């Protein structure tokens, strides 16, 4: 057990037991699921020097961004590979590209290396344990400084009225992660099995339709539409299925990579990192976080069933479902709902 400290720190680096990642060079993450914006002015210069016209500037916000093609993929992606990376090297890529899928949470025990799960490289096929050296090169800025996503202090808000030391929290968290690793039912691990995890129809329909009818552009937009669709289904509404702009890429991944995990294992792995990455601190307490996570678990289950019935291999269906619930969980619409609708 790492020694306790009252302040969050970044060293030593810590990885979650069982966490794995391997870049399979699918290029899936470059279809805007890590958000190909904003890029800095120096990064824009580098990119324009590499390929004139590959960036743009939003006239409303002034934010620079990489252009995407009709399929939502970055214009520098070719045959699943980043042409900038292959020509100039990893360090020449914009920070947002170098960073994905890693994150860093400073805690009193050290720096937790976290991973996003919305790329199928994190969810489908053989993967090795997280490599700390590889992660570290993604976690630093151009000057070599570590960039932090979340800081956890020595008191952790467990409910809206109670908190506990980080050491106590870490012990409880360890029990949850061990249970998930041995196949325990996720909603039970979140201690939500006796709680209402099916949202109330009257308060949630408006939210679901907002997701369903909002921005549908590219993979992230379609993912949010699917989230709204699954939420409507959970509420008992009929709703026509949205488009799946990622279906060709996912079919190719399914053809190339053997199945190595069940949907239940994919869900447990995702949920473990959703707890471990501590981003839920933004909700104010673990009590709120576990409620919203339990509902996203239910939505995951609806999506896996839908995609599997349509003929998608179960592990790939689970990869799609994780991508959707993770992208939706990061949306402003969902984060506001967690705070105001009593998720
Ligand atoms: S610059 Fe390269 S790594 Fe970044 S989104 Fe484009 S293809 Fe992907």
User: What are the pLDDT digits (tens) for 177-210?
Assistant: 999 999 999 999 999 876 665 556 667 899 999 9
What is the average pLDDT across 27-32?
84
pLDDT at 40: 93
What is the mean pLDDT of the segment spanning 332-338? 90
C-alpha 74 – ligand 1 centre gap (Å): 6
Cα 26 to chain centroid distance, Å, stands at: 17
Low-confidence winner among 62-66, 141-145, 218-222, 338-342 (lowest mean pLDDT): 338-342
Count of helix runs (H) and strand runs (E) in the chain: 13, 12
d(CA 341, CA 12): 38
Nearest ligand 1 atom to the CA of 27 is: 8
pTM score of the predicted model: 0.93
How far is the centre of ligand 1, averaged over its atoms, from the C-alpha of 31 (Å)? 9
What confidence category does residue 1 fall into, taking pLDDT thresholds of 50, 70 and 90?
very low
Q: What is the pLDDT of residues 228-277, one digit of tens each?
A: 999 999 999 999 999 998 998 899 999 999 999 999 999 999 999 999 99
336 Cα: distance to centroid of ligand 1 (angstroms) = 30
pLDDT at 33: 75
Asked if pLDDT for residue 165 goes beyond 70, the answer is yes
pLDDT digits (tens, 9 = 90+) for 89-118: 999 999 999 999 999 999 999 999 999 999
**Which residues fall within 8 angstroms of residue 209, CB to CB, at 6 or more apart?**
228, 232
Indicate the range of 20-34, 116-130, 279-293 predicted with least confidence. Answer: 20-34
User: Which residue ranges have their beta carbon within 6 Å of ligand 1?
Assistant: 30, 36, 66, 74, 76-77, 82, 84-85, 93-94, 97
Checking 78-87 for CB contacts under 8 A at 24+ apart, the result is 79/27, 80/25, 80/26, 80/27, 81/25, 81/27, 82/27, 82/30, 83/51, 84/47, 84/50, 84/51, 87/50
Substitution candidate for ligand 1 out of 29, 35, 76 with most atoms within 8 A of CB: 76
């Amino acid at each position: 057990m790492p020694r306790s400290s009252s302040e969050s720190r970044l060293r030593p680096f810590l990885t979650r037991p069982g966490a794995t990642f391997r870049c399979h060079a699918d290029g899936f993450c470059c279809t805007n699921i890590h958000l190909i914006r904003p890029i800095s002015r120096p990064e824009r210069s580098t990119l324009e020097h590499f390929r004139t016209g590959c960036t743009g500037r939003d006239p409303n916000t002034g934010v620079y961004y990489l252009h995407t093609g009709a399929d939502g993929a970055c214009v520098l992606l070719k045959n699943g590979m980043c042409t900038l990376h292959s020509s100039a090297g990893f360090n020449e890529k914009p920070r947002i590209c170098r960073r994905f899928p890693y994150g860093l949470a400073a805690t009193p025990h050290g720096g937790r290396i976290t991973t996003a799960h919305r790329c199928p490289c994190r969810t489908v096929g053989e993967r090795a344990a997280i490599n700390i050296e590889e992660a570290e090169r993604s976690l630093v800025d151009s000057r070599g400084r570590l960039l932090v996503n979340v800081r956890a202090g020595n008191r952790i808000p467990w409910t809206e009225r109670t908190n506990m030391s980080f050491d106590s929290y870490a012990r409880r968290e360890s029990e949850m992660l061990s249970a998930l690793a041995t196949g325990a039912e996720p909603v039970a691990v979140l201690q939500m099995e006796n709680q209402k995890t099916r949202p109330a129809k009257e308060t949630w329909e408006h939210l679901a339709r907002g997701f369903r009818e909002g921005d549908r552009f590219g993979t992230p937009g379609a993912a949010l539409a699917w989230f709204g669709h699954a939420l409507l289904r959970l509420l008992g509404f009929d709703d026509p299925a949205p488009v799946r702009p990622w279906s060709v890429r996912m079919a190719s991944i399914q053809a190339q990579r053997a199945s190595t995990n069940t949907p239940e294992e994919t869900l447990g792995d995702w949920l473990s990192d959703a707890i471990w990455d501590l981003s839920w601190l933004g909700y104010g307490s673990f009590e709120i976080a576990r409620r919203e996570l339990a509902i996203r678990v239910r939505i995951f289950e609806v999506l896996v069933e839908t995609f599997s019935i349509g003929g998608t291999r179960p592990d790939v269906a689970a990869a799609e479902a994780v991508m959707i619930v993770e992208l939706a969980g990061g949306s402003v619409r969902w984060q506001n709902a967690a705070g105001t609708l009593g998720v």
